[in-house]
Amino acid sequence: MKEAVIKTENLTKRFGDFIATNALTLEVYTGEIFGFLGANGAGKTTAMRMLCGLSIPSSGNATIAGYDVYRETERIKKNIGYMSQKFSLYEDLTVLENIRFFGGIYGLSDDEIARKSDALITQLGLQNEAKKLVSGLPLGWKQKLSFSVAVLHQPKIVFLDEPTGGVDPVTRRQFWNLIYDAAEKGVTVFVTTHYMDEAEYCNRVSIMVDGKIEALDTPHNLKKKFNAFSMDEVFYQLARGAQRAE
Protein backbone atom coordinates (compact mmCIF):
# COMPACT_ATOMS: atom_id res chain seq x y z
CA MET A 1 0.00 0.00 0.00
CA LYS A 2 1.47 3.30 -1.13
CA GLU A 3 1.23 6.05 1.41
CA ALA A 4 0.54 9.59 0.16
CA VAL A 5 2.90 12.04 1.82
CA ILE A 6 1.68 15.02 -0.20
CA LYS A 7 -2.02 15.22 -0.90
CA THR A 8 -3.68 18.22 -2.54
CA GLU A 9 -7.24 18.79 -3.54
CA ASN A 10 -8.24 21.74 -5.75
CA LEU A 11 -5.41 23.78 -4.28
CA THR A 12 -5.68 27.27 -5.78
CA LYS A 13 -3.74 30.53 -5.43
CA ARG A 14 -5.09 33.79 -6.79
CA PHE A 15 -3.28 37.11 -6.98
CA GLY A 16 -6.14 39.49 -7.66
CA ASP A 17 -7.74 38.34 -10.92
CA PHE A 18 -4.77 36.21 -11.82
CA ILE A 19 -5.03 32.53 -10.99
CA ALA A 20 -1.44 31.38 -10.54
CA THR A 21 -2.31 27.83 -9.57
CA ASN A 22 -5.70 26.51 -10.53
CA ALA A 23 -7.34 23.60 -8.70
CA LEU A 24 -4.21 21.52 -8.21
CA THR A 25 -5.06 17.95 -7.28
CA LEU A 26 -2.31 15.36 -6.85
CA GLU A 27 -0.82 12.78 -4.56
CA VAL A 28 2.84 12.05 -4.05
CA TYR A 29 3.89 8.83 -2.35
CA THR A 30 6.59 8.18 0.20
CA GLY A 31 10.05 7.65 -1.24
CA GLU A 32 8.98 8.75 -4.69
CA ILE A 33 10.87 11.15 -6.96
CA PHE A 34 8.11 13.33 -8.33
CA GLY A 35 8.85 15.55 -11.32
CA PHE A 36 6.76 18.73 -11.38
CA LEU A 37 7.10 20.06 -14.91
CA GLY A 38 5.70 23.09 -16.67
CA ALA A 39 6.67 26.02 -18.82
CA ASN A 40 7.95 29.27 -17.28
CA GLY A 41 5.05 31.04 -15.61
CA ALA A 42 2.90 27.91 -15.47
CA GLY A 43 2.59 28.27 -11.69
CA LYS A 44 5.09 25.68 -10.48
CA THR A 45 6.90 27.88 -7.98
CA THR A 46 3.63 29.23 -6.57
CA ALA A 47 2.34 25.70 -6.08
CA MET A 48 5.56 24.63 -4.42
CA ARG A 49 5.57 27.64 -2.09
CA MET A 50 2.06 26.71 -0.96
CA LEU A 51 3.16 23.16 -0.24
CA CYS A 52 6.09 24.48 1.83
CA GLY A 53 3.96 26.80 3.93
CA LEU A 54 5.56 29.92 2.44
CA SER A 55 2.39 30.97 0.68
CA ILE A 56 -1.15 30.68 2.00
CA PRO A 57 -3.54 29.03 -0.51
CA SER A 58 -6.61 30.97 -1.66
CA SER A 59 -8.76 27.83 -1.65
CA GLY A 60 -8.58 24.04 -1.73
CA ASN A 61 -6.97 21.63 0.70
CA ALA A 62 -3.61 20.04 1.11
CA THR A 63 -1.79 17.97 3.67
CA ILE A 64 1.97 17.61 3.74
CA ALA A 65 3.39 14.74 5.79
CA GLY A 66 -0.06 14.53 7.33
CA TYR A 67 -0.22 18.21 8.36
CA ASP A 68 -2.66 20.80 7.09
CA VAL A 69 -1.23 23.65 4.97
CA TYR A 70 -3.46 26.24 6.64
CA ARG A 71 -3.20 25.40 10.29
CA GLU A 72 -0.03 23.40 10.77
CA THR A 73 2.55 25.18 8.64
CA GLU A 74 5.17 25.14 11.39
CA ARG A 75 4.76 21.36 11.81
CA ILE A 76 5.11 20.98 8.06
CA LYS A 77 8.31 22.99 8.16
CA LYS A 78 9.88 20.54 10.60
CA ASN A 79 9.30 17.76 8.12
CA ILE A 80 10.35 19.31 4.86
CA GLY A 81 13.44 20.71 3.22
CA TYR A 82 13.27 23.42 0.59
CA MET A 83 15.71 24.58 -2.01
CA SER A 84 14.55 27.68 -3.84
CA GLN A 85 15.21 28.59 -7.44
CA LYS A 86 17.46 31.41 -6.31
CA PHE A 87 20.55 30.42 -4.34
CA SER A 88 19.68 31.35 -0.79
CA LEU A 89 22.43 30.31 1.56
CA TYR A 90 24.52 33.05 3.14
CA GLU A 91 27.21 34.15 0.69
CA ASP A 92 29.20 35.87 3.43
CA LEU A 93 29.44 32.75 5.58
CA THR A 94 31.70 29.80 4.91
CA VAL A 95 30.47 26.39 3.81
CA LEU A 96 30.83 25.01 7.34
CA GLU A 97 29.19 28.03 8.95
CA ASN A 98 26.16 27.68 6.66
CA ILE A 99 25.78 24.00 7.51
CA ARG A 100 26.18 24.74 11.20
CA PHE A 101 23.69 27.60 11.12
CA PHE A 102 20.90 25.70 9.37
CA GLY A 103 21.59 22.61 11.44
CA GLY A 104 21.20 24.74 14.57
CA ILE A 105 18.01 26.37 13.33
CA TYR A 106 16.47 22.95 12.68
CA GLY A 107 17.34 22.01 16.24
CA LEU A 108 20.15 19.50 15.68
CA SER A 109 22.52 18.95 18.61
CA ASP A 110 26.12 20.18 18.43
CA ASP A 111 27.19 16.58 18.13
CA GLU A 112 24.89 15.84 15.21
CA ILE A 113 25.94 19.06 13.52
CA ALA A 114 29.62 18.18 13.80
CA ARG A 115 29.05 14.65 12.52
CA LYS A 116 26.80 15.69 9.66
CA SER A 117 29.00 18.55 8.50
CA ASP A 118 31.94 16.16 8.27
CA ALA A 119 29.92 13.62 6.34
CA LEU A 120 28.49 16.26 4.02
CA ILE A 121 31.81 17.87 3.25
CA THR A 122 33.30 14.50 2.42
CA GLN A 123 30.32 13.48 0.33
CA LEU A 124 30.45 16.71 -1.66
CA GLY A 125 34.25 16.67 -1.91
CA LEU A 126 34.45 20.15 -0.40
CA GLN A 127 37.30 19.46 2.04
CA ASN A 128 39.41 22.31 0.66
CA GLU A 129 36.51 24.76 0.50
CA ALA A 130 34.93 24.04 3.88
CA LYS A 131 36.41 27.16 5.43
CA LYS A 132 35.97 29.41 2.41
CA LEU A 133 33.15 31.86 1.89
CA VAL A 134 30.26 30.46 -0.09
CA SER A 135 30.33 33.48 -2.43
CA GLY A 136 33.55 32.11 -3.96
CA LEU A 137 32.09 28.70 -4.90
CA PRO A 138 31.11 27.85 -8.50
CA LEU A 139 27.35 27.61 -9.09
CA GLY A 140 27.34 23.82 -9.38
CA TRP A 141 28.89 23.43 -5.94
CA LYS A 142 26.59 26.02 -4.46
CA GLN A 143 23.60 24.02 -5.73
CA LYS A 144 24.93 20.76 -4.31
CA LEU A 145 25.56 22.50 -1.00
CA SER A 146 22.03 23.96 -0.94
CA PHE A 147 20.58 20.55 -1.53
CA SER A 148 22.65 19.01 1.20
CA VAL A 149 21.62 21.74 3.62
CA ALA A 150 17.97 21.20 2.66
CA VAL A 151 18.15 17.50 3.64
CA LEU A 152 20.46 18.05 6.64
CA HIS A 153 17.67 17.56 9.20
CA GLN A 154 16.43 14.38 7.50
CA PRO A 155 13.08 15.72 6.34
CA LYS A 156 10.34 13.46 5.04
CA ILE A 157 10.02 15.51 1.87
CA VAL A 158 12.41 17.78 0.06
CA PHE A 159 11.16 20.40 -2.39
CA LEU A 160 13.59 21.39 -5.12
CA ASP A 161 12.75 24.34 -7.35
CA GLU A 162 14.80 24.10 -10.55
CA PRO A 163 17.83 22.85 -8.67
CA THR A 164 19.97 22.32 -11.77
CA GLY A 165 19.24 25.54 -13.66
CA GLY A 166 22.44 26.87 -15.21
CA VAL A 167 24.52 23.91 -14.08
CA ASP A 168 26.84 21.93 -16.41
CA PRO A 169 25.89 18.34 -17.46
CA VAL A 170 28.53 16.66 -15.31
CA THR A 171 27.45 18.52 -12.18
CA ARG A 172 23.82 17.84 -13.06
CA ARG A 173 24.61 14.14 -13.11
CA GLN A 174 26.30 14.39 -9.73
CA PHE A 175 23.35 16.36 -8.42
CA TRP A 176 20.94 13.62 -9.47
CA ASN A 177 23.12 11.09 -7.72
CA LEU A 178 22.58 13.11 -4.54
CA ILE A 179 18.84 13.03 -5.19
CA TYR A 180 18.89 9.24 -5.68
CA ASP A 181 20.88 8.83 -2.46
CA ALA A 182 18.30 10.82 -0.57
CA ALA A 183 15.40 8.93 -2.16
CA GLU A 184 17.01 5.64 -1.21
CA LYS A 185 17.07 6.78 2.38
CA GLY A 186 13.30 7.27 2.14
CA VAL A 187 13.13 10.99 1.48
CA THR A 188 10.36 11.95 -0.91
CA VAL A 189 11.67 14.27 -3.60
CA PHE A 190 9.44 16.87 -5.23
CA VAL A 191 11.41 18.51 -8.02
CA THR A 192 10.77 21.01 -10.80
CA THR A 193 12.97 21.09 -13.87
CA HIS A 194 13.14 22.23 -17.45
CA TYR A 195 15.48 19.43 -18.49
CA MET A 196 13.50 16.61 -20.04
CA ASP A 197 16.31 14.09 -19.54
CA GLU A 198 15.89 14.76 -15.83
CA ALA A 199 12.15 14.16 -16.17
CA GLU A 200 13.01 10.67 -17.34
CA TYR A 201 14.78 10.05 -14.03
CA CYS A 202 11.57 10.66 -12.06
CA ASN A 203 9.20 7.95 -10.91
CA ARG A 204 6.21 10.01 -11.94
CA VAL A 205 5.82 13.44 -13.48
CA SER A 206 3.07 16.00 -13.81
CA ILE A 207 3.00 18.64 -16.52
CA MET A 208 1.44 21.97 -15.70
CA VAL A 209 0.09 24.38 -18.32
CA ASP A 210 -1.34 27.79 -17.41
CA GLY A 211 -1.85 26.93 -13.76
CA LYS A 212 -3.46 23.54 -14.36
CA ILE A 213 -2.10 20.02 -14.37
CA GLU A 214 -2.61 18.65 -17.87
CA ALA A 215 -0.94 15.26 -17.46
CA LEU A 216 0.24 13.08 -14.56
CA ASP A 217 1.77 9.64 -14.91
CA THR A 218 5.06 7.76 -15.19
CA PRO A 219 7.33 8.98 -17.99
CA HIS A 220 6.85 5.65 -19.71
CA ASN A 221 3.03 5.85 -19.74
CA LEU A 222 3.05 9.49 -20.79
CA LYS A 223 5.21 8.74 -23.79
CA LYS A 224 2.87 5.93 -24.78
CA LYS A 225 -0.20 8.06 -24.32
CA PHE A 226 1.11 10.95 -26.39
CA ASN A 227 2.68 8.63 -28.90
CA ALA A 228 6.08 10.22 -28.35
CA PHE A 229 9.68 9.00 -28.29
CA SER A 230 10.84 11.29 -25.54
CA MET A 231 9.52 13.38 -22.67
CA ASP A 232 10.68 16.34 -24.70
CA GLU A 233 7.98 15.64 -27.28
CA VAL A 234 5.34 15.07 -24.62
CA PHE A 235 6.17 18.36 -23.02
CA TYR A 236 6.15 20.14 -26.35
CA GLN A 237 2.72 18.80 -27.31
CA LEU A 238 1.24 19.96 -24.04
CA ALA A 239 3.03 23.22 -23.45
CA ARG A 240 2.93 24.80 -26.89
CA GLY A 241 -0.73 25.72 -26.33
CA ALA A 242 0.20 27.73 -23.25
CA GLN A 243 -1.19 31.27 -23.09
CA ARG A 244 1.06 32.46 -20.29
CA ALA A 245 4.73 33.12 -20.57
CA GLU A 246 7.10 35.06 -18.38
Partner 1 sequence: MRAIKFLLQKEFRQIFRNRSILAMILVMPVMQLIILPLAANYEVKNINLSVVDHDHSSYSQKMITKIISSGYFRLTGYNRSYGEAFHLIESDEADVILEIPDGFERNLIREDEQKLLVAVNAINGVKANLGGAYLASIIRDYNQEIRIDFLQNNRFNVIPTIDVTSSNWFNPNLNYQVYMVPGILAVLVTMIGGFLTALNIVKEKEAGTIEQINVTPIRKHHFILGKLIPFWVLGNIVFTIGLLVAWLIYGIIPVGSLALLYGFVSIYLLAVLGLGLLVSTFCETQQQAMFIMFFFMMIFILLGGLFTAIDSMPEWAQVVTRFNPVSYLITVMRMVILKGSTFQDVAPHLGIIALFAIGLNGWAIVNYKKAS
To the nearest whole angstrom, how small is the minimum distance from the Cβ of residue 94 to partner 1?
A: 9
Does position 166 interact with partner 1 (CB under 8 A)? The reply is no
With binding defined as CB under 8 A, does residue 107 bind partner 1?
A: yes
* Ramachandran region, residue 10 (left: φ > 0; alpha: ψ -120 to 50; beta: rest): left
Q: Is the CB of residue 158 less than 8 Å from the CB of residue 83?
A: yes
Give the residue with the Cβ less far from partner 1, 75 or 194. Answer: 75
Find the binding residues for partner 1 in span 28-67 (CB under 8 A): 52-56
Q: Residues 44, 100, 142, 144: which binds partner 1 (CB under 8 A)?
A: 100
Q: How far is the C-alpha of 172 from the C-alpha of 175, rounded, in Å?
A: 5
- Which stretch, 31-39, 68-76, 121-129, 174-182, contacts partner 1 (CB under 8 A)? 68-76
> Minimum distance between the CB of residue 6 and partner 1, rounded to whole angstroms?
15
Among residues 156 and 223, whose Cβ is nearest to partner 1?
A: 156
Residues in contact with partner 1 by CB under 8 A are 52-56, 73-75, 77-78, 80, 82, 84, 86-93, 97, 100-102, 104-107
